[in-house]
Amino acid sequence: WIILLNNSFLSISSIILSAYFGMEDLKYLYFSIFLILYIAIVAENVIIIGVIYTEKTLHQPMYFLVCNLAANGLYGSTALLPALLKNLAFHPSEVSLAGCRTQIYCIHTYAIVEFTILGVMSYDRYVAICHPLRYHTIMSLTKVYKLVAFTWIYPLLAFLIFFLITCQMRFCDKTIDKLYCINYSLIKLSCTNTSVVNIIGLISVVLYSFPQLVMILYSYAHVLRVCALASQESKLKALRTCTPHLFSIINYSVGCFFEILQSRFDTRHLPYRAQVFMSLYFLIFPPILNPIIYGLSIQAIRVKLLKLCYNKNRILSIQ
């Protein structure tokens, strides 16, 4: 019996995502909503990237970081929404184990890259406000390229180490009560003792997020110190400079809080739609809101977008 059981662990090739069962009655409505959201995310982020790429006056560190934030939003939402749409339309409960692991890797690296970019952006705001005369010297293009390379390479490699550990695990169940796969949910399916893996996971979370958190707190502590001694006009200018970034941090942090709350605690007492909203927040709302935040708040991007819309309308009126 033990031999047969062990063989069943090795033969598991698919994972059941049971949260889709609660969407069966309104699956076409959900499909339409998520399709519209995905189209909006792709359109908004592609426009922001295109505007920054084509407009040479926007080839500056801050806009380059905004561009990478948009690229990561595309990466994270694409890791979730196409698979979610497919599951709603065809097979609402089952994904391959390989597909589940791929989604885990993409979603987790998206989350780490997002927080790392936000950490680097806080350093950029610190330099811009606390050392304005040395800004272009400190934030040279060479340094910015290195920082951006770090924000992508570090998360992709750092999570890969922990991810390979979980890939070696055997499973005694194949049901995850979510709409997508995450590492902690897959670990809970293991039939072996996961205490060591859980400890490694907690250490990994600290390594993935603590340096960025320190950078954000350090940067804004200095910004606040400078603002306390500055004139009212300088304070307002600093506030306009930092508001989009602070909103992005808060928006992302709320999503992570929802995900941790739902993954680590029993939220079955909450309404089903609230559970869906909480589980999807950090993968949908940062990618859809960040382009709006920076597109409306940063004057250079806003002016360029208005020019594009004006020129397009002129061309259409002439035709």
209 vs 119, 123, 151, CA distance in Å? 9, 15, 12
Give the span between the Cα atoms of 142 and 194, in whole angstroms: 43
Neighbours of 124 (CB within 10 A): 23
Kindly give the parts of the chain with pLDDT less than 50.
1-10, 315-316, 318-319
Ordered by start, the domain boundaries in the chain are 2-318
pLDDT for 313 equals 55
- What CATH class does 2-318 carry? mainly alpha
pLDDT for 1 equals 33
pLDDT for 147 equals 92
pLDDT tens track for 210-238: 889 999 999 999 998 888 887 788 778 88
pLDDT for 11 equals 54
Angle at 311 between CA 309 and CA 314, to 5 degrees: 110
pLDDT tens track for 152-201: 998 888 888 888 888 888 888 888 888 898 888 888 888 777 778 878 87
pTM above 0.85, yes or no: yes
